[in-house]
Amino acid sequence: MSEGENRQNEALERRVRADARRNLDGLLKAAMEVFATSGVDAPVREIAGKAGVGVGTLYRHFPQRSDLIVAVFRREIDACADDAPVLAAQYPPGEALSRWMQRFVDFVSAKRGLSAALHSGDPAYEPLPAYFDQRLRPALENLLQAAEKPGEIRPGMDAIELLHAVSRLASAGGDDARRMVALLVDGLRYRAGDTQG
Amino acid sequence: MSEGENRQNEALERRVRADARRNLDGLLKAAMEVFATSGVDAPVREIAGKAGVGVGTLYRHFPQRSDLIVAVFRREIDACADDAPVLAAQYPPGEALSRWMQRFVDFVSAKRGLSAALHSGDPAYEPLPAYFDQRLRPALENLLQAAEKPGEIRPGMDAIELLHAVSRLASAGGDDARRMVALLVDGLRYRAGDTQG
DNA sequence: CCATATACGGAACAATGTTCCGTTTATCAA
DNA sequence: TTGATAAACGGAACATTGTTCCGTATATGG
């Protein structure tokens, strides 16, 4: 290959058109707003309308409805994961765990439809649980290990399993969700230090 | 009113036609089968087809899709409630509670879509949670009270709240669901006998 | 066996996800 | 600046599914 052709090895074949990027951003913004008010089941046309584009344009950027939902939720997951180390540095292990759990509950409760998408089983949403696990599992694992060491909770709890369970409980929303998650965490504490059956 | 008109006070105005009853039964049977294989989201036409009737007939008996779903699930709830007193008589309170919970988990897990319908929030499904609560709450309340008395679990747990939480966890299905519910029940045991803060 | 209320079947309608394609336009190079 | 062209756009059209409507068929009671 000639050096001229190779300049900027990636992004060689023409950069994305400005209107395309504009519309993609507008669609994400519109979708976030619509999902927040009407829920994730809102008609595609409503989102396209709010973004000021045709449905064809929407489908060019997000080949399936679910792709748009996934794109919107993806960016909401990071902030939650990043809070884990902060709380770990700020509180004793057991309390850091409790607090992050409540933080997580509030997050899932606020995003109506996240839990449903997560547990739908529909392969179209598969990238969402994948990202969810990849990002949140290490966060929770660190908290669990820190609390295991001094014997505050039972050892060997699987982080993914716990994460999924809590996200299910969280979908109830409100104080019920918070109480039930607290109860579940208390389950981790029950007979935590036992060595005999 | 004359005594002649009053004979058999209810069912006075012409008894239901035999074909109507036949079709209603057939629809329920078909729906149960279809729900079991294709899930509760299966098209109405599939159910009508399997029952050998037109969609008009289906809608005559079940004005909304959800009414059919509710009708199918309703009858599945009773058997579960009736097991509570049996287990209570057979095991010590704490174990009876654990065992019934697992029984309940298996029940909800088996009926894919029950949990979703239960927690959808759609007013069309309102009769379902209502029946669910009415039938299962007393069953669980008795188990809880029996286990509270000897101090095996913390007092004051709300049966409905617990029921809803467990049905959410149960929708995961499989061993994960069983483990998480067991963990939640252990939460009830954590510091059960404490009297000071 | 007739009259009639009841039930039936399926075409038609409405809402919504998705595809298609003729039209418009941003980008690049001359 | 301007023209060629690949890329993106818009929205009509299509497919699927819940629901309604109404002309037709039939079970029931006399």
Per-residue model confidence as pLDDT tens digits over B68-116:
999 999 988 988 999 999 999 999 999 999 999 999 999 999 998 999 9
Per-residue model confidence as pLDDT tens digits over B47-68:
999 999 999 999 999 999 999 9
pLDDT category of residue A76 using cuts at 50, 70 and 90: confident
> What are the backbone dihedrals phi and psi of residue A111, each rounded to the nearest 5 degrees, phi first?
-90, 80
B122 touching A, CB under 8 A? no
Query: Exposure string (b/e) for A133-167, b if CB count within 10 Å is 16 or more?
Result: eeebbebbbbbbebbbeeebbbeebebebbbbbbb
**For residue B106, what are its two tokens?**
């298996």
* Distance (Å) of CA B47 to CA B34, B36, B70, B113: 7, 12, 15, 16
Are B157 and B147 in contact by the 8 Å Cβ rule? The answer is no
Per-residue model confidence as pLDDT tens digits over A91-129:
999 999 999 999 999 999 999 899 999 999 899 999 999
Closest alpha carbon within chain A to B186: A187
pLDDT at B5 over 90: no
Q: What is the mean pLDDT of chain A?
A: 91
Per-residue model confidence as pLDDT tens digits over A127-177:
999 999 999 999 999 999 999 999 999 999 999 999 999 999 999 999 999
Are A173 and A111 in contact by the 8 Å Cβ rule? The answer is no
* Residue B67 identity (one-letter amino acid): D
Assigned CATH for A16-63: 1.10.10.60
> What are the backbone dihedrals phi and psi of residue B158, each rounded to the nearest 5 degrees, phi first?
-80, 125
Looking at domain A74-191, which of 3.30.590.20, 1.25.40.10, 3.30.460.10, 1.10.357.10 is its CATH number? 1.10.357.10
Name the CATH superfamily, with its identifier, for domain B76-192: Tetracycline Repressor, domain 2 (1.10.357.10)
pLDDT at B148 over 90: yes
Instruction: Name the nt closest to B124 by C-alpha to C1'.
Output: D18
Q: Is A141 helix (H, G, I), strand (E, B) or coil?
A: helix
Q: What is the mean pLDDT of chain B?
A: 91
Q: A15: Cβ under 7 Å from strand C?
A: yes
> Protein B17 CA to nucleic acid D23 C1', in Å?
20
In CATH, B17-63 is 1.10.10.60: yes
> What are the backbone dihedrals phi and psi of residue B122, each rounded to the nearest 5 degrees, phi first?
-65, 125
Alpha-carbon span B186 to A183, nearest angstrom: 9
Are A159 and A81 in contact by the 8 Å Cβ rule? The answer is no
Chain A from 32 to 91: CB within 8 A of any B CB = none
**For residue B153, what are its two tokens?**
């679990």
Per-residue model confidence as pLDDT tens digits over A4-46:
333 333 334 678 999 999 999 999 999 999 999 999 999 999 9
* Residue ranges per structural domain of chain A: 16-63, 74-191
Are B72 and B63 in contact by the 8 Å Cβ rule? The answer is no
- Measured from the Cβ of residue B91, the count of other Cβ atoms closer than 10 Å reads 14
